[in-house]
Amino acid sequence: MAKVSFIGMGVMGYPMAGHLKVKGGHDVTVYNRTVAKAEAWARQFEGKFAPTPAEAAEGADFVFTCVGNDDDLRSVTTGENGVISTMKAGSVLIDNTTASAEVARELYAAAKEKGVDFIDAPVSGGQAGAENGVLTVMCGGDEAVFEKARPVIGAYARMVGLMGPVGAGQLTKMINQICIAGIVQGLAEGIHFGKQAGLDIEKVVEVISKGAAGSWQMENRHKTMTSGKYDFGFAVDWMRKDLGIVLEEARRNKAKLPLTALVDQFYGDVQTMGGNRWDTSSLLARLDRN
């Protein structure tokens, strides 16, 4: 059993911290900006909560962060009352936020100055994956540190991989989002085309999902998309945040991402329609609106 702290009790962090407590058997202390969520977690999982990130991290062997964006991450790590200020030498900071590779490298350097190790470890699998403890975790960092952290991360994951040095986890998550954007747009166009052609979408998907067109998105989202229900997963606002990170990195490394840039604009249209909190499959709503 390790002493663990978890910073960020959002739809992902709340169940992930729960798995660290229940499945991992660790001594877990949590922090959340909205104290009520941290209190609720502590009641549900018979754990502890702290009033600041620094206090949550004090004496911990592993500190996890899962917050909104780069600025949020800096605030809870290197800002006033950030976790790095109280983390002990030899402990490991594991960041599950989907953030930039640049901030991952910043935190690696800041942690090293305190004798603390760092891994960037963004996740894929959405809220359902977090709740069921079957997330995919893409890590960047030193191999020895990764091997030390992997068994702990495994409490909420079905796949944990070291992708390279610090920042490689975030870069891999960017690829994940690039691929999802293209797949969802293709699925939305396919369903829209089928509806316009008067086909039975359920019958169409039953056949084509068994061939080369099949995907997780098709299997898990075609029914809700066809029925115009878009409250089943990762929100458009968060996808646009992630694609913004992707496109900024592409400008830096000169990658050509015409489809990703186009789909990002389409998600902007969905936001204009009021779909900020709809899930990412709502690209179909944009096509069906007229």
Question: Taking residues 246-270, what's their average pLDDT?
Answer: 98
What are the sequence ranges of the domains in the chain?
Answer: 3-165, 171-288
pLDDT at site 156: 98
Q: Which CATH number applies to 3-165?
A: 3.40.50.720
pLDDT at site 233: 81
Tell me what percent of the residues of the chain surpass a pLDDT of 70: 100
Which residue has tokens 């646009």? Answer: 240
pLDDT one-digit tens code per residue, 72-122: 999 999 999 999 999 999 999 999 999 999 999 999 999 999 999 999 999
Residues labelled catalytic:
173
CA distance 273 to 289: 9
Question: Taking residues 37-56, what's their average pLDDT?
Answer: 98
Question: Taking residues 48-71, what's their average pLDDT?
Answer: 98
Question: Taking residues 156-167, what's their average pLDDT?
Answer: 98
Question: Taking residues 242-268, what's their average pLDDT?
Answer: 98
CA distance 113 to 219: 47
Taking Cα atoms as reference points, which of 39, 44, 36 lies closest to residue 18? 44
Which residue has tokens 């809220």? Answer: 127
Question: Taking residues 121-150, what's their average pLDDT?
Answer: 97
CATH fold for the domain made of 171-288:
N-(1-d-carboxylethyl)-l-norvaline Dehydrogenase; domain 2 (1.10.1040)
Q: What pTM did the predictor assign?
A: 0.94
In this prediction, residue 290 has a pLDDT band, given cuts at 50, 70 and 90, of low
- Assess whether pLDDT exceeds 70 at residue 22: yes
SS (H, E, C) the chain: CCEEEEECCCCCHHHHHHHHHHCCCCEEEEECCCHHHHHHHHHHHCCEECCCHHHHHCCCCEEEECCCCHHHHHHHHCCCCCHHHCCCCCCEEEECCCCCHHHHHHHHHHHHHCCCEEEECCEECHHHHHHHCCEEEEEECCHHHHHHHHHHHHHHEEEEEEEECCCHHHHHHHHHHHHHHHHHHHHHHHHHHHHHCCCCHHHHHHHHCCCCCCCHHHHHHHHHHHCCCCCCCCEHHHHHHHHHHHHHHHHHHCCCCHHHHHHHHHHHHHHHCCCCCCEHHHHHHHHHCC
